[in-house]
Amino acid sequence: MKNYTDLQHKKVLVLGLAKSGVAAAEILHELGAFVTVNDSKPFDESPDAQGLLQKGITVICGRHPEDLLDEGFELVVKNPGIPYSNRIVADAISREIPVWTEIELAYLISEAPFIGITGSNGKTTTTTLIFDMLNKGNKNPLIAGNIGTVACGVAKEATQDHVIVTELSSFQLMGTQTFKPKIAILTNLYDAHLDYHGTFDNYAQAKFAVARNQDSSDYFIYNADQSIVADYAARSNAQKIPFSVSSRTENGISADDTMIYWQGEPYMERANIALPGKHNLENILAAVAACILIGCEKEKMEEVLATFGGVRHRTQFVREWNGRKIYNDSKATNCLATKSALDAFQVPVILLAGGLDRGHSFEELRPCMHHVKGVVAFGETGLRFVEFAKSCGVSQTVIAQNVEDAVHYAAPMSAEGDVILLSPACASWDQYDSFEIRGDVFIDAVMKL
């Protein structure tokens, strides 16, 4: 950890605990700041707060005092999930008190360079691929952010010989001021989290913060096939590395049906890449580009790509059963994600879909329903999804009680050579507390076939 002295003797408020708040409070305390932690959970119910108090950190729990900022704080470090409309956060901004997330703190104390990955979709897959390939190539990666461990906790232990591979949300990036990754990646931009950001422009600007402070010594890897991303990339001062699955780029990375090209020249054959789908090919291109820039050997990358079956719940290959390949894409909580999953397969698909009914249309899926031979629907949208499937010409449809029940309907509906795909196009909250739980139920049912 760098001997960062700028926070010594400064009064810092850590707003919200959870893992990131605890890690930030402990590190700030070590850096010599006068730390106060404020969390809504009662002190008696918060082992984290009790532990921080034992270390000499001031703890205010169970309430958010209206006069909290009158204590003269010079910095607020907030949990990423706390919106900027929060009374204390808004008050801090009006008083011109800097408001960080722990990502900024991680950058300031880290001896290791960062690879920062963000975007609406594909962050986790891209982050995992980079980590796995760098690990295989003995490049000493550490993984942090939305995936893995809290970034400032990782940065505290990192040395100059490491590289920190960090998945970053728009919530985290909004709380950065000097954060400057050596390599920044923006996978794509779609409407998301507008309840938090208010407008798409605010959301997109938060994402672009991953590259905002970069200069000509850094690299910005971005999706050249999406005009909004390319427009933001034009504002970057970094060395630009576009990726494209639609045309060959002379100054970046691209792919056609058989080959991946680096700087316009053939680099890697696609034949042995295990992960299916155009959307995953975009993730692969971004990840390979980052690893090339770090100096990873091509052979080590190819070893990972030949066996990487996807991140859990994201077009994850589960097993082959009686000639059918079965995939868990429970993370697909909207039509765009399910469309990407369906586009990944050219063989007949038995689609398991449904969930929380937010009144959204399924029409976005119509162009990719032509190879869906059967639909098993469940949840609040079960009937609506079946009616939609029938309107697309799907002849085999059934409504199941839940995901486990859906697996038992899907198995006899399928034939050898088919794909059985859970890709719900809906949130899980009508029946399951999270998409992870829904996916785990699916995997368990599939393994019992």
- Do both 263 and 365 map to the same domain? no
Give domain status of residue 6, yes or no.
no
Give domain status of residue 270, yes or no.
yes
- Do both 228 and 148 map to the same domain? yes
- Do both 125 and 107 map to the same domain? yes
| Tokens 């010409």, located at residue | 393
- Do both 119 and 267 map to the same domain? yes
> Which one of 100, 134, 157 terminates a domain?
100
CB distance 388 to 362 below 8 Å:
yes
58-61: strand order across its sheet: 58-61, 34-39, 11-15, 75-78, 99-100
Predicted confidence (pLDDT) at residue 196 exceeds the cutoff of 90: no
pLDDT given at position 61: 95
The pLDDT-based confidence of 315 (bands split at 50, 70, 90) is confident
- Do both 90 and 126 map to the same domain? no
What residues does 420 pair with on adjacent strands?
Answer: 326, 350
Check the annotation: does 119 bind a ligand.
yes
Q: Higher confidence at residue 198 or residue 269?
A: 269
Give domain status of residue 2, yes or no.
no
- Do both 293 and 328 map to the same domain? no
Check the annotation: does 307 bind a ligand.
no
The pLDDT-based confidence of 18 (bands split at 50, 70, 90) is confident
Check the annotation: does 122 bind a ligand.
yes
- Do both 172 and 212 map to the same domain? yes
Give domain status of residue 1, yes or no.
no
The pLDDT-based confidence of 405 (bands split at 50, 70, 90) is very high
- Do both 249 and 382 map to the same domain? no
Check the annotation: does 81 bind a ligand.
no
Predicted confidence (pLDDT) at residue 193 exceeds the cutoff of 80: no
Give domain status of residue 134, yes or no.
yes
Give domain status of residue 414, yes or no.
yes
- Do both 107 and 210 map to the same domain? yes
**Structural domain boundaries enclosing 406:** 316-447
The pLDDT-based confidence of 313 (bands split at 50, 70, 90) is confident
- Do both 274 and 125 map to the same domain? yes
Give domain status of residue 5, yes or no.
no
Q: How many domains does the chain have?
A: 3
Question: Mean pLDDT throughout 262-286?
Answer: 93
Residue 77 DSSP one-character state: E
Check the annotation: does 120 bind a ligand.
yes
What's the CATH number where 359 sits?
3.90.190.20
Give domain status of residue 347, yes or no.
yes
How many residues make up the chain in this entry? 449
| Tokens 């899907």, located at residue | 410
- Do both 279 and 368 map to the same domain? no
